Structure 1
């Protein structure tokens, strides 16, 4: 009996630690910031390819851009270093070491620099013995690495899942999260857990478990600097909405991967589609680019505070897609402000993924509007109010090829 009680106490103690991870009070709104991988990838050949160099100078320059050019005020705050940041071997004490040539002053120096600007710092590891690109991973070192990230004042940890079996994925993310929590350092916990379960091991992810143990999770393939890849991500979230939306909300977010603005990959209209869908999904908005390469229009979109308000709405509702006609989807998202306690504002994003211009019509009142006093309508990209409507009024809209429009209806 004594042994049985002892085991129960151990189990309870372990689960109590995990439960604290589940409600760590972080990421109450989808994280916004910058992440190195999408554009810089494993940028270690700095001598031959200095424009794709992942080093201290790059990370500090992103922080400076956020601070001086309005991105921080718009909500962009996390600056996250992805894979390939370390030396190829741990030190004699079993600790990870930042690449001595590319990060000569170490990660604590970078964290301090970023924090002095009022921004937040993120890093990367993998739950295997090696990262996806062959650098030292955290398997066998969860406690040591968690303490190290805490000592470096990391605010966000992206954790990959390459090179491990399904059963290990289903336990390792929980265990590493518990060790992160035990440090007492608040760190947003970003997992790739469901992606590897579904697309590498071809099993159905347990999104209930994922959402209980992670703040952010990847559930589809990596983005690339390619419009067809962005379209594939959008199509995935449209078809998988019913499987994903119920696990999504404050503190727990589906992550469709990075924004590829600033990479010369998208037209202006494609950029509108990219950010419109991400905003409607209440997805993390993490740029991956040379911040000096953002064009004027991309910067205008990123600093459109009416658009950011939809993306960062405190309710965190993941927009529901409705197919209006071939390649045209209507995404519908209720959000604040409310009139009274029951009349939400609602945003409607019309997204045309085809290469042809088209005309569509819809009646907003058929998609969740309920104020009989009517609504006033704002064009979010133009940032102008255009008219008032009743519940029975119809909208007819001309959509250019591969383009999007967003209308927000505020209850009168």
Structure 2
């Protein structure tokens, strides 16, 4: 009997450990998600008669899927198509289930999911942990289990869960509970949380990133990005200033999320667009567009399909670049990544960022920032794809960075 009791106890703790691992690591989002999300550009686009150009409906979502599939974005890694707030009816059905708006999504969400999946793409949706969403549509409070199963039955691959109108104490339990219900569906669903944003900026407390990163695949840290250069600048400054705290919890399966890319909106210069995307890639941030895909400029599309740039952002190591302050308000972001030489020397990318007005010239020595290969490195300009020169660890590199722009180089060990 004693041996049986010991075996039972061991089995219990093994089961407990396995269940805990399943809860904390769903095996998803091993690289930062890439795709398109409706909110930044289309917002709560429900008035389709008065404003058809900003209509959030079935036609829009299917057309985005077609564009990503047909124009090379899928091959570059853009795969998630995510519907944000304002997609549902204002009332649940008689069984307590969420219902897609019948006029804007006449075929329902399973139809959209099947259409997206048929193209090899992935489908994402939105809910909120409180009684209502941020735009006063039905929230998931009291319905976590029903909603998780509904989303799973619709075949979603990604769920953004917002935190409007929720107390701090509720946020700190609700996100954990909702994640458990998502796991119970046994459908692989990337779990995107807004948890730390609400803790810090609504409840004015310090987020517990150790806890958050244990329960979410990615999480919003900062304010919603707006369609302006100033919003991009403020967002980047937040990640620069908070690097020591948030970088510790960032990596495969768990990502800091600086919100969407505002390409296709006409508010950024080419230099600002380069800077926006380059810093996000250096951060290993999710790359989620939010725009009318037909309004992307030829240059923006070229940037988004620059595979040397995308490779830095999608590197399997998932390192969040470290910022260093250089003279003249230049920030040097340094990121270690693959490939390696001889399983010993990593490659590195350097992004020299100038968010100020007026160009600036700075110098730096690569060996001061973690490089180790005594044989030196071959330097590639990430935006042109051209190899420029070979450098040693002690070479001094001088670069002039234009106003509100970035110079970005990848160094491969020789």
TM-score of the superposed pair, with normalisation by structure 2 = 0.96
Contact 2:322 2:334 in 1 (8 A): yes
Extract unaligned runs of 5+ from structure 2.
Answer: 1-10
1:137 aligns with 2:139: yes
1:176 aligns with 2:187: no
Q: Distance in 2 between matches of 1:276 and 1:355?
A: 18
Q: Distance in 2 between matches of 1:317 and 1:348?
A: 13
Q: Render the CA deviation track for 1:268-318: whole Å, top value 9, x for unaligned.
A: 000001001000000000000000000000000000000000000000000
Q: Distance in 1 between matches of 2:284 and 2:172?
A: 26
Q: Distance in 2 between matches of 1:308 and 1:170?
A: 34
**Which position in structure 2 is the counterpart of 1:357?**
359
Deviation at 1:365, TM superposition (A): 1.3
Rate the CA distance shift 1:10–1:337 in 2: closer, same or farther, 3 A: closer
Q: Distance in 1 between matches of 2:17 and 2:205?
A: 25
Q: Distance in 1 between matches of 2:329 and 2:96?
A: 53
Contact 1:17 1:178 in 2 (8 A): no
Deviation at 1:23, TM superposition (A): 1.1
**Which position in structure 2 is the counterpart of 1:32?**
34
**Which position in structure 2 is the counterpart of 1:4?**
none
1:98 aligns with 2:100: yes
Q: Render the CA deviation track for 1:140-180: whole Å, top value 9, x for unaligned.
A: 00000000000000000000001011111000000000000
Rate the CA distance shift 1:370–1:80 in 2: closer, same or farther, 3 A: same
Deviation at 1:14, TM superposition (A): 8.7
Secondary structure in structure 1 of the residue aligned to 2:123: strand
1:42 aligns with 2:18: no
Contact 1:320 1:332 in 2 (8 A): yes
- Kindly report the root-mean-square deviation, in angstroms, between the aligned alpha carbons of the 2 structures: 1.5
Deviation at 1:183, TM superposition (A): 0.3
Q: Distance in 2 between matches of 1:15 and 1:386?
A: 51
Rate the CA distance shift 1:100–1:14 in 2: closer, same or farther, 3 A: farther
**Which position in structure 1 is the counterpart of 2:340?**
338
Deviation at 1:327, TM superposition (A): 2.6
The structure 1 segments of at least 4 consecutive aligned residues displaced by more than 3 Å after TM superposition are 9-19
**Which position in structure 2 is the counterpart of 1:151?**
153
TM-score of the superposed pair, with normalisation by structure 1 = 0.96
Q: Distance in 1 between matches of 2:308 and 2:101?
A: 41
Contact 1:86 1:135 in 2 (8 A): yes
Within a 5 Å distance, the mapping from 1:13-412 to structure 2 comes to: 17=19, 19-412=21-414
Number of residues of Structure 1 aligned to a counterpart in Structure 2: 404
Secondary structure in structure 2 of the residue aligned to 1:377: strand
Deviation at 1:21, TM superposition (A): 3.0
